[in-house]
Amino acid sequence: MKLAIRKAAKPIYVERFIRTDMDTIWKHTQSPELHEQWDLRFTKIDYLPKDGDEGSSHLQHFLYETRIGFGLKIAGTGVSRALSQQDVECSSKVALQSDIPGAVQPHSPQESAISRLESSNRATGLSFQSDQRISLILQGSGYWKYTATDEGVIFKTQYDYQTRFGAMGRWFDRCLFRPLFGYATAWSFDLLRIWLEEGIRPAMIKQRALIHYGCAALLALLWIYQGLVPKLLFPGTGELALMQDSGWLTSWLSGGFENGRQSGEASLFADHAFLLQQVLGFVEIGIGMATIMLHRRTWLYRIQGITLTLLPFLAIWGNPMLLAQPFNPVMLSAAMLGLGLFAGMTTRHLPQASNCFRSNKNEQSYGTAWKGRWNRLWPQFTNKH
């Protein structure tokens, strides 16, 4: 009998090159008041006073908090340790074994061995957990690594965690939470790059991103709705009559209509107009889908701007009385033009998760080296704080 072996989820890995110096990126990632500004995963981070009598004053205990909406928040605790360059190059294995608590079980027996860090300038290891029952993450561990180059710093992270709620929690994590969490990590890394390279504050970047995503989503929704509902699902609700009132549809099909009346086929015009309405419906749906997939392309909004300017002009040119209708083509096109304008203006300096490397086969998860240390150090931490 074959035994079913459950495949463990891959750790989250993100890597980004940033044109800055080591001291600057270290400050912006290790200072809580700066870290919480660019990292979407945390709303608030508080460092706790170091406790020297533990013999582990190099350990930094911290509290973290993440608001998830509807007045709810996830809070947790963690321990981190900044590794010096000497630690990384000379004794990284001993440093990881001795001092950092870990909670993540290895994915395979081969991964249970402690991994030696690659040569780099600085690194930080951490372990974290949340006692809240609503938190999907139970406990986990990971690291940050900083590698200096001639042009900047390669900033990378890898972390993994255990989940609550049994098989259902693992399924939800694999299908939805882990991909979104990894995306948020990569998006945050690119936001940090924009902050350090361009000097734009994270609050401004987030505001521009919110405007961009909101306008692009509404614009795509309007295109899809206009193509799907009145033209395909409910073609008899007046959309065809509005197209006929514009005049250009009637003139375009007038030859066929007149020939149809002379030959006794009075439905020829209606058939052609209905077919044209369906074609326009699919075209508008395609434009809406393209807006979703290519929302960062400014040329897309330029093309839409030209289209949304010409179509209502042709309609009003054919029948000026359309302006008297409550939901006329001019007002709808003006609203869509405004959404496209703001979406196009906010494409610059917009963080993009795909700018980051999301996998590295050569990178070993030395977060698993802390297995078994959490239960020894964590009770001491909770009792003293």
Q: Residue 198 has what pLDDT?
A: 96
Instruction: Read off the amino acid at residue 65.
Output: E
Q: Which two tokens stand for residue 35?
A: 């870290």
In this structure, are residues 35 and 185 in contact, taking their beta carbons and an 8 Å threshold?
Answer: no
Q: Residue 249 has what pLDDT?
A: 55
For residue 198, the surrounding DSSP H or E stretch is helix 178-198
Over residues 52-108, the pLDDT tens digits come to: 655 455 789 999 999 887 778 999 999 998 765 555 444 334 333 434 444 444 443
Distance CA 143, CA 366 (A): 8
* Contacts (Cβ under 8 Å, ≥6 apart) of 31: none
Taking alpha carbons only, the member of 59, 56, 95, 64 closest to residue 80 is: 59
Q: Quick one: what percent of the chain has pLDDT higher than 70? A: 70
Max CA distance (Å), the chain: 102
CATH number of 12-200+352-384: 3.30.530.20
Higher pLDDT, 324 or 255: 324
Taking alpha carbons only, the member of 21, 358, 28 closest to residue 191 is: 28
Distances from the Cα of 271 to the Cα of 20, 237, 256, 266, angstroms: 64, 16, 10, 10
Question: Which of 257-287 are b and which e, b meaning 16 or more Cβ less than 10 Å from the residue's Cβ?
Answer: beebeeeeeeebbeebbeebbeebbeebbeb
pLDDT mean across residues, the chain = 79
For residue 384, the surrounding DSSP H or E stretch is helix 374-384
Q: Which residues, in sequence order, are bridge partners of residue 122?
A: 146
- Does this model's pTM top 0.75? yes
Q: Residue 247 has what pLDDT?
A: 56
DSSP 117: P
Token pair 């993450």 in the structure block, residue: 137
* Contacts (Cβ under 8 Å, ≥6 apart) of 226: 284, 332
Distance CA 152, CA 161 (A): 30
Q: Is the pLDDT of residue 364 over 70?
A: no
For the segment 187-196, the average pLDDT, to the nearest whole number, is 98
Question: Which of 319-335 are b and which e, b meaning 16 or more Cβ less than 10 Å from the residue's Cβ?
Answer: eeebeeeeebbeeebee
> What is the pLDDT confidence band of residue 51, given thresholds at 50, 70 and 90?
low
Q: Is the pLDDT of residue 250 over 80?
A: no
Higher pLDDT, 117 or 319: 319
Query: Domain spans of the chain?
Result: 12-200+352-384, 209-345
Over residues 277-304, the pLDDT tens digits come to: 888 899 999 999 999 999 999 999 999 9
Q: Which residues, in sequence order, are bridge partners of residue 144?
A: 124, 157
Distances from the Cα of 42 to the Cα of 57, 60, 181, 215, 287, angstroms: 25, 17, 11, 26, 36
Reading phi first (left if > 0) and then psi (alpha if -120 to 50, else beta), residue 375 is in alpha
Distance CA 358, CA 366 (A): 17
For residue 220, the surrounding DSSP H or E stretch is helix 202-228
Q: Concatenate the DSSP letters of all residues of 1-48 into one string.
A: -PPP-PPPPPPEEEEEEESS-HHHHHHHHHSHHHHHHH-TT-SEEEEP
Q: Which two tokens stand for residue 79?
A: 């321990």
Q: Is the pLDDT of residue 362 over 50?
A: yes
H-type alpha helices, 229-326 = 239-245, 248-252, 254-262, 268-293, 298-318
> What is the pLDDT confidence band of residue 318, given thresholds at 50, 70 and 90?
low
Q: Which residues, in sequence order, are bridge partners of residue 140?
A: 128, 161
Higher pLDDT, 353 or 365: 353
Distance CA 24, CA 6 (A): 42
For the segment 169-182, the average pLDDT, to the nearest whole number, is 95
